Every structure is written in C-alpha cells, then in structure tokens.
Amino acid sequence: MEEFQLANGIKILCYPIQNAYSIALSLNIRGGLRYENNSNNGISYLLEKMHLKRLGAMDQDEIFYRMESMGSFLRADTLKDTLRYSMRFRPCYFEQSLKIFAELLNAYSWNKEDITATKKTVINEIAKSDTYINIESIMEQVLWKNNPLGFPIIGIKDAVDSITLDDVIAYKKAVFNDNNIMLVITGAITENHIAVLKKCFENIKLPAQLNMQHVVKPVQFNRKPDILLQNKPWEYVDVAMMFDVDSKQITIEDLDMLCNIIGGGDGSILSLALREKMGITYSVSALFEIYNDAACIYIKFVAHKKDIYLAINTITESLRSMKSHIEQCHLDTTKPFLTDNLWFDLEDPWEWNMYLSWRVFSLGQPPFSIEESIERFDKIDAARLSEVVKTIFKPENASAALLGSLNGITQKEIRRIINEGLAEFR
C-alpha cells in the first residue's frame, strides 16, 4: 500500500492486490449534501449528471461507447458527504481509463443545451420520487431535521429549476479544488501503473481551495425521544428506531460488531426474539451511518399495527439486557463473519476500493490493511460492547419513524415505552 500527494494537491492511495485480474479506480471529491443549502439542494447530483452528459470533447454517446468498448462503465455516486466516480477494468485498459478520469477533472465546457436537458431529466426524477414515500425519507426528517444531511440527494424541484450553468461551474470549482480530491486505486496494479498514473495527473491544474459553505453540525444527543408518524392505509407498518452515536468514543468496528449482534442476520438477538420466537415480523435489521462529525444506529422492522408497541418494548428490553451481559456465543459467531468477509473483498478490487475510499477519504481515517482492521475487531470483547451499549441506547439519543396504518398508535405511548425501557441508561 502506498499513499502520496502530487504537486497539484491530488492525493493518491494505491492498494495492490495479489492475483487480482482487474483494477478499480475511484475519484473522490469532498462535496454532496453537506455542502448544499435550501437554495441549491440538488446541485451535486446535477453536476454528476452533467459529467455523464459531456466530458470535454466527448458527448454522451461517445462516453458510453468508450465505456462499453472496455467492458466497463463509469459509475457516479452523489453521497451525503462525497462525490465519487469509479470504474473497474482490465489492466490492458489502464491508460484509456485514466484519460476518462482526467477529463472528469478538466470538464467545464458544457453549454445551455446540456444544462437544460440535464435539469429536465432530474426534475422528472424528482416528480417520480415525490409520488412514493418510504420509511427512509421519514427517518431522514426526524433524524437530521433541517440539517443538509436530511436533504434529498436528487434535490427539490424549485431549487434544481433555479440552478444555472454558471452555478454548476462555480460549485464544481469550489469542490474540485487542490485540497479536496483523492484517487484510490486497487487491484492488479504495478509500479509501472503508478508511474503512468502520476504522469497523467500531475500536470492537471486545479482551482485553489476556496472558503466553502460552512458545514452545519447536526443536533444530536438531546432527544425527547423524537417521534414522527406518517399514516398510510397499509396493513403493515414500517418502523425505524434511531440512536445518536458519539463517533469520537465509538469506532466503526464497535458499531459493525454491535449491529450484527443486534440485527445482522438469522441468529441475531432481534431476529431470534421478534421473528423466530414471537412471530411478529418477517424482517428486522440493525445498521449504522457514520460521517466525520455525526453517526447513528438504526433498527428497522415491519410489523402489524397490533404488534407495534410489543415489538418496540421487546427491542428496548433486549437492549437493556445487553448493558450488563452479552453472550460470548454472539462474539464467537460475529467476529469470524465480519473478519473473514473482509478477505472476500480482495476477490473484488472494486468492493475494497469503495471501503477504503469511505474510511480513508470520507471519514479522514489513516490508510489501513485488512490485517489491521481484523486486529481492531479482535480487541473487542463483551465488556467493551456492553460499555458501547450503555453509551448509545439512552432516551436522549433516541428517535423513531413509523409509516403505515397508525390509527390508535400515538407518539406519547411510543415515547413512554422508550423512556421507561431505556431509563436506567441515564
């Protein structure tokens, strides 16, 4: 593994993988929702689509032709805190692929027809998304409130409609700056590949770092708990219980281990309790989100309206019991599952590239090997996880979102169950 920085500011992280047959390359830019506001929400996603519309002299047809002639495609992702462009290709297409990424950095030559056509496409996508509501959109509202982390990634119609070509170019210059970019390359790479990469990118001129919009820190750890109900005439109810996490005290490995024990598979605590023993849900999971200044765990399940209170009470009881005791058998099964699956990522350079990009670039953590990550998991024991449980699962960290047939379900009663069930964590 090698990390270095070119004279123009571009950071590069190289992770060779023995016996790989492909190379994965990602271009990571600090941007996305964290750098938007109410008046330009959607500009990051619009920029993503503009790049796929035209790259320098290549129009959309030429872009697609080049991708397909290499047996690949250019994946573009607008995330809450990162813009990411990535490809996976055979080593024989290395130089051709580098040129695509160089064009991504240099592309500014769009015209009014490009922006008009792209806005039309995005606004149609917004209109379609507005006709469908899901639990994730309710979660965002209650969890992040008015913080940009809760904005829709594709934007809102009025904001997108008002964005001009000059706005898009100014935004790109602000985020595609000389202190805001990392290339991550994984797979079948050699010293020669690295030399070619340096030569391709070292002469690209990037805008100087600008004073970007202030990133507003989310308000956490002061919940009532916060409850949001959305009534729909459905027989079953989607439920998400969220808990704020202090990522300065709790690591990704802590969260990964905890989520897998709580709701990570058929043998997890909540799957056994809610699905196998009580039969009140067919789907329960525990996941986490983490950013450089905010994190949360969320537990999601689907149940009939008559079982909602019972399910929430069972969850709080299960979390409370974990405060004093986590069975060793859960660690014995979860650790191998998490650590052995890391090795599987080496069979897919693109998967390992995405993981490295997230942790090293988006979260600003030091580069690491799989062996180092496994070592961190191995240090976690039952006592450590119990301390993590005590830290996270408190009423003041809790919020919940419910979507479905909710007649007779009240915020007051849900709040009471959570407060009483987790009160001893205070």
Number of Cβ within a 10 Å radius of residue 412 = 8
Q: Looking at the chain, which residues constitute the CATH 3.30.830.10 domain(s)?
A: 2-201, 226-425
Q: What is the pLDDT of residue 217?
A: 72
Residue-wise pLDDT for 321-355, tens only, equals 998 888 888 899 899 989 988 888 888 999 999 99
Q: What is the pLDDT of residue 426?
A: 47
Task: End-to-end CA distance of the chain: give it in Å, rounded.
Answer: 44
**Is 249 exposed, middle or buried (CB count within 10 Å of its CB: 0-12, 13-18, 19+)?**
exposed
Q: What is the pLDDT of residue 220?
A: 86
**Is 7 exposed, middle or buried (CB count within 10 Å of its CB: 0-12, 13-18, 19+)?**
exposed
Give this prediction's pTM: 0.91
Q: Which residues have a Cβ under 8 Å from the Cβ of 201 and sit 6 or more positions away?
A: 6, 8, 10, 12, 98, 101, 102, 105, 183
Between CA 313 and CA 412 the distance in angstroms is 14
Between CA 32 and CA 215 the distance in angstroms is 11
The CATH code that applies to domain 226-425 is 3.30.830.10
Between CA 279 and CA 273 the distance in angstroms is 8
**Is 390 exposed, middle or buried (CB count within 10 Å of its CB: 0-12, 13-18, 19+)?**
middle
Between 128-142, 238-252, 303-317, 405-419, the lowest mean confidence (pLDDT) is in: 128-142
Q: What is the pLDDT of residue 410?
A: 96
Between CA 386 and CA 222 the distance in angstroms is 22
Give the model's confidence band at 213: pLDDT under 50 very low, under 70 low, under 90 confident, else very high: low
Which of 169, 159, 165, 167 has the alpha carbon at shortest distance from 41? 159
Whether domain 2-201 has CATH 3.40.640.10: the reply is no
Residue-wise pLDDT for 94-143, tens only, equals 999 999 999 999 989 899 999 999 999 999 999 998 778 899 999 999 99
Between CA 258 and CA 312 the distance in angstroms is 18
Between CA 4 and CA 14 the distance in angstroms is 9
Between CA 113 and CA 128 the distance in angstroms is 23
Over 90: is that where the pLDDT of 80 sits? yes
